[in-house]
Chain A
Amino acid sequence: MSAHPKDTAPAALDRREFLKASALAGGGLVIGISLAGCGKPADLAKAAGGQPVAWLKIGGDNSITILVDKSEMGQGVYTALPMLIAEELDVPLAAVKVVAAPAGAAYANIFLGTQITGGSTSVREGWQKLRAAGAQARAMLLGAAADEWKVDVGSLKTDAGVVTGPNGQKRTFGELAEAAAKRPLPKDAKPKDASAYKLVGKATPRVDTPSKLDGSAEFGIDVKLPGMKYAALAQSPVLGGKLKSVDSAAAEKLPGVVKVVTTSTGVAVVADHYWQAHVARDALKLSWDEGPNAKLDSAAIRAGLKAAKGTAQSARKDGDAAKALKAAKKKVEASYELPLLAHATMEPMNCTAVVTADRCELYVPTQIQQIAQATAAAAAGLKPEQVSVTTTLLGGGFGRRLEVDFIPAAVEAAKAVGAPVKLIWTREDDMTHDAYRPPAHDSGSAGFDASGALQAVHIQLTSPSVTARMFPPVVEKAVDPFAVEAAANFLYDVPNVSVDYLRHEIGINVGYWRSVSHSLNCFVVESFMDECAHAAGKDPFEFRRALLGKQPRAKRVLEEAAARAGWGKAPAGHHQGIAVMEGYGTYLAQVAEISVEQGKLKVHRIFCAVDCGQRVNPLIVDQQLTGGMVFGLSAALWGEITLAGGKVQQKNFDEYRVVRMNQMPELGVHVLDSSEAPGGIGEPAVALVAPAIANAWFAATGKRVRALPFSASGIA
């Protein structure tokens, strides 16, 4: 999701109300949150289980703990977020212990309104609240020392968790924590100036790396509880189908089977060990009511999107594009098609639950804790506050774990057997029961005047809306902001621009997929602008550059990418394509270099230039950029989920191909130094890969690829 602070930060966010401090039971300082209109002061002292609701705890024992309210799914939040606190407190990163925050309104994402790891918001949000929390804590600790020594705060120094006074007096943070907690919350504690950064901006090794080298990192699928049973789930093969009947007699006789439980989302076989549950699942005799999707197939979905009629919503309107198009001397028109995509996280969906009469414990790799909590509560017949959510490490998220469809069956099975149950989906379950990236049928129209100047661009987008299902209030009055990214913010200086969005549902659930609608719309807009460049007889780089005069950051990354990738200087037989985008407050441009080998596409190199504002940890920024490019490349080359008779046809990595080591092009990244506020980095690089390659293919062959993936055109 693309959440810009300006779009979605709650207006009621009041800095003075934002952070609150309280004493930690046992002596220490807790910096917590109270969001105006959201958290109540009482939340601060107590949450479920009597734990303080906090982000930052400084203990009398000198421990510094940050409760990270973002899920670690590879994007580095367990490193980058504590870095913000460590910076403000002048302590080494290793001194800050990371604990996953529980579910609770106090941990709601200030850009998105509920507890969510998504929208490339983690660092952008932490940049506001964690730096503020760190600065507050520091001011209170210094205030306590100044009072004790009766000296001016300005005469104090901090280093490595020790405050030093003007006469060499020393106190550790732990020694000061209790007195600090009694002080009023400082109103004017400002985060450090960038010139004083010791940690922020430095490539810093990830704190989670060691545990990921010896098998000790605990993902959801690794949770172990005493007496735990395992479950496999049989779900309707047709998406949206319902169970008609189940004969479990044969399955129940198999070794290890504890119980067969009919749940709200399918039939769960619970056994002593996972493989026993898996084998017994195959012995179930199931019949399904296939429901309204029994005849749904990909051709019908494509045709439906193409023929969709209705009132489109305007996402952008500058001037009068319709009128300017009528008056145009030369026109360019093109349509584009994009497929459904699976997330295919490496760790398949799973959830572990324990249910007693009045409690439910959930251990789950999730990106959306409060909704997971509410979902589990409903499944268990409890209230949300009776459900604890422990977020494990996530073996990939990519938006898949914003869904909670794998939670109810685990809870219902655990309740039915009265023991902890770990439910594990197979890869096939995962791939055939995803909430897929929306497909789209989009088009562009452009008009040039007699002098050859581009006067009008109209982009028409048609796709189903994820937000309408997940967050209906957001789309009640406004166009779905997560359907029109990379189009509504059309960067080029054209006097008449309109972007319209027509919501067209397709009968199955669609979901947020890494970079969300950027992955759709960047392909459309950047392919179309390339078509316009060609129509204008201009070099695609120069054409874009000339239209980016009012977008200095976009222009600069475009120029950097072109210069560093050697635009126009490809070796003989190689061809280049370019694309530029703004997403999540980050500006990117990519140059792809390809050749045609026996009629097929070969990608040699992709180079990405980026301005993501202030970097917190450049090492993680680079990881997210290259990782995003690989993710985008898999989708561009082969990514496509198809349906026949309402069933997803791709079941595993043989049918849903992803890039492997031997298929990797060379990747290059250059990130510009910038003092702008941090932009999001986890997602945007995904979106430029397909258009950059498609434009290179045109440069090589004179043929436009207007439908993804490239394999559908027989070239990959």
Chain B
Amino acid sequence: MITLKVNGKTLETDAAPDTPLLWVLRDHLGLTGTKFGCGKSLCGACTVHVDGSATRSCVTEVSNVVGKDIRTIEGLSSDRSHPVQKAWLELDVPQCGYCQSGQIMAASALLAQNPSPSDADIDSAMAGNICRCGTYPRIRAAIHRAAELMKTGGAS
């Protein structure tokens, strides 16, 4: 048994220690908000926070995150009140939505470290997250909007 701290809860799994965190989250723990897109750290769909850093769960063995603070899209807020979620709603960012959990987790990790990202900061933080629907212009605008919301008290 492996014990994990996910979204503030302590959870147990019988997954093999070398199982990617992605599949532990999705299959063993039922947290399917985190998505499988490439399995090779190329698309960002599987992005979660590990101790606050954006992490590709598809290439992270579960044994490496024991004792760490894992946060998934389901745990970003309990009611879509995180400034990134609010900004995403305001700008109607998602299309198919499949990449958006990863986009939101990458964006929220960026803003936690850099509350006023420039376009260049956004480029470098978000370049690992593919959106085949092409929502990039709204993602960029929504990150700026979320930064504003964080400053004006929309913080979670």
Complex: A662 Cα to B131 Cα, angstroms: 12
* A588 on the B face (CB < 8 A): no
Which of A32-40, A142-150, A172-180, A344-352 lies on the face that meets chain B?
A: A344-352
Residues in B neighbouring A658, C-beta threshold 8 A: 130, 132
A346–B96 CB distance below 8 A: yes
A653–B35 CB distance below 8 A: no
Complex: A420 Cα to B100 Cα, angstroms: 28
B28–A273 CB distance below 8 A: yes
Complex interface residues of chain A between 162 and 218 (CB less than 8 A to chain B): 205-206, 208-218
Q: How far apart are B145's CB and chain A's nearest CB, in angstroms?
A: 14
Most buried by B among A273, A394, A658, A661: A661
Given known pairs A75-B95, A230-B27, A661-B127, the reply for A627 and B73 (CB within 8 Å) is no
Q: How far apart are B18's CB and chain A's nearest CB, in angstroms?
A: 9
Complex: A438 Cα to B151 Cα, angstroms: 50
Q: Once A and B bind, how many residue pairs between them come within 8 Å at the CB atom?
A: 179
B28–A627 CB distance below 8 A: no
B73–A215 CB distance below 8 A: yes
Complex interface bits, B114-147 against A, C-beta within 8 A gives 1, otherwise 0: 0000000011101111111111111110000000
Given known pairs A274-B27, A347-B35, A661-B127, the reply for A215 and B72 (CB within 8 Å) is yes
A205–B92 CB distance below 8 A: yes
Residues in A neighbouring B124, C-beta threshold 8 A: 662
Q: How far apart are B65's CB and chain A's nearest CB, in angstroms?
A: 15
Given known pairs A74-B97, A427-B37, A661-B127, the reply for A396 and B104 (CB within 8 Å) is no
Interface size class of chain B, counting residues whose CB lies under 8 Å from the partner chain: 35 or more
Q: How far apart are B83's CB and chain A's nearest CB, in angstroms?
A: 12
* A219 on the B face (CB < 8 A): yes
Residues in B neighbouring A74, C-beta threshold 8 A: 94-97, 133
* A447 on the B face (CB < 8 A): no
Residue of B nearest to A205 (CB): B92
Which of A91-99, A411-419, A592-600, A628-636 lies on the face that meets chain B?
A: A628-636
A394–B23 CB distance below 8 A: no
* A626 on the B face (CB < 8 A): yes
* A73 on the B face (CB < 8 A): yes
Residues in B neighbouring A73, C-beta threshold 8 A: 96
B27–A661 CB distance below 8 A: no
Q: How far apart are B133's CB and chain A's nearest CB, in angstroms?
A: 5
Complex: A654 Cα to B42 Cα, angstroms: 7
Complex interface residues of chain B between 33 and 82 (CB less than 8 A to chain A): 33-40, 42-43, 45, 72-74, 76-77, 80
Q: How far apart are A208's CB and chain B's nearest CB, in angstroms?
A: 7
Residue of B nearest to A208 (CB): B97
Residues in A neighbouring B76, C-beta threshold 8 A: 214
A213–B100 CB distance below 8 A: yes
B134–A216 CB distance below 8 A: no
Residues in B neighbouring A208, C-beta threshold 8 A: 94, 97
Residue of A nearest to B72 (CB): A215
* A221 on the B face (CB < 8 A): yes
Residues in A neighbouring B80, C-beta threshold 8 A: 210, 213-214
Complex interface bits, A623-649 against B, C-beta within 8 A gives 1, otherwise 0: 100111111000000000000000000
A652–B132 CB distance below 8 A: no
Q: Which of A214, A222, A273, A664 contacts B136 (CB 8 A)?
A: A664
* A255 on the B face (CB < 8 A): yes
Given known pairs A74-B133, A213-B89, A660-B130, the reply for A653 and B97 (CB within 8 Å) is no
Q: How far apart are B8's CB and chain A's nearest CB, in angstroms?
A: 15
A426–B95 CB distance below 8 A: no
Complex interface residues of chain A between 646 and 679 (CB less than 8 A to chain B): 652-654, 658-662, 664, 667
* A619 on the B face (CB < 8 A): yes
* A589 on the B face (CB < 8 A): no
* A253 on the B face (CB < 8 A): no
Complex: A144 Cα to B137 Cα, angstroms: 49
B89–A210 CB distance below 8 A: yes
B39–A215 CB distance below 8 A: no
B123–A627 CB distance below 8 A: no
Residues in A neighbouring B23, C-beta threshold 8 A: 273-275
Given known pairs A653-B43, A653-B130, A660-B127, the reply for A216 and B33 (CB within 8 Å) is yes
Complex interface residues of chain A between 582 and 635 (CB less than 8 A to chain B): 619, 623, 626-631
Complex interface residues of chain A between 214 and 261 (CB less than 8 A to chain B): 214-219, 221-222, 224, 230, 255
A275–B20 CB distance below 8 A: yes
A255–B16 CB distance below 8 A: yes
A424–B134 CB distance below 8 A: no
* A60 on the B face (CB < 8 A): no
Most buried by B among A224, A394, A626: A626
* A395 on the B face (CB < 8 A): yes
Given known pairs A653-B38, A661-B126, the reply for A627 and B135 (CB within 8 Å) is yes
Residue of B nearest to A348 (CB): B36
* B99 on the A face (CB < 8 A): yes
* A393 on the B face (CB < 8 A): yes
Residues in A neighbouring B153, C-beta threshold 8 A: none
Given known pairs A214-B80, A215-B73, A393-B97, the reply for A630 and B136 (CB within 8 Å) is yes
Complex: A276 Cα to B14 Cα, angstroms: 12
Residues in A neighbouring B122, C-beta threshold 8 A: 661
Residues in A neighbouring B93, C-beta threshold 8 A: 209
A213–B94 CB distance below 8 A: yes
* B9 on the A face (CB < 8 A): no
Complex: A273 Cα to B30 Cα, angstroms: 11
Residues in A neighbouring B40, C-beta threshold 8 A: 427, 652-654
B100–A212 CB distance below 8 A: yes
Complex: A628 Cα to B138 Cα, angstroms: 14
Q: How far apart are B124's CB and chain A's nearest CB, in angstroms?
A: 7
Residues in B neighbouring A209, C-beta threshold 8 A: 88-89, 92-94
Complex: A221 Cα to B32 Cα, angstroms: 8
Residues in A neighbouring B38, C-beta threshold 8 A: 427, 652-653
Residues in A neighbouring B95, C-beta threshold 8 A: 74-76, 623, 627
Complex: A629 Cα to B73 Cα, angstroms: 29
Q: How far apart are B48's CB and chain A's nearest CB, in angstroms?
A: 11
Complex: A284 Cα to B15 Cα, angstroms: 21
A346–B72 CB distance below 8 A: no
Complex interface residues of chain A between 67 and 97 (CB less than 8 A to chain B): 72-76
Given known pairs A205-B92, A214-B74, A275-B19, the reply for A661 and B139 (CB within 8 Å) is yes
Given known pairs A275-B19, A626-B137, the reply for A631 and B132 (CB within 8 Å) is yes
Residues in A neighbouring B99, C-beta threshold 8 A: 346, 395
A652–B42 CB distance below 8 A: yes
Complex: A475 Cα to B135 Cα, angstroms: 37
Complex: A310 Cα to B18 Cα, angstroms: 57
5 pairs of A and B residues whose beta carbons are closest in the complex: A215-B33, A630-B134, A395-B98, A74-B96, A212-B97
The residues of A with any CB-CB pair to B shorter than 8 Å are 72-76, 205-206, 208-219, 221-222, 224, 230, 255, 273-276, 344-348, 393-398, 424, 426-427, 619, 623, 626-631, 652-654, 658-662, 664, 667
12 contacts between A and B (CB under 8 A): A208-B94, A217-B97, A273-B23, A275-B19, A275-B23, A275-B27, A346-B45, A346-B132, A396-B96, A660-B126, A660-B136, A667-B137
The residues of B with any CB-CB pair to A shorter than 8 Å are 15-16, 19-20, 23, 26-28, 30-40, 42-43, 45, 72-74, 76-77, 80, 85, 88-89, 92-101, 104, 122-124, 126-140
Q: A74-B95, A398-B132, A424-B36 are in contact. List 13 more A-B contacts (CB 8 A).
A: A75-B95, A209-B92, A212-B94, A213-B80, A213-B89, A216-B33, A255-B16, A273-B15, A274-B27, A652-B40, A660-B129, A661-B122, A661-B123
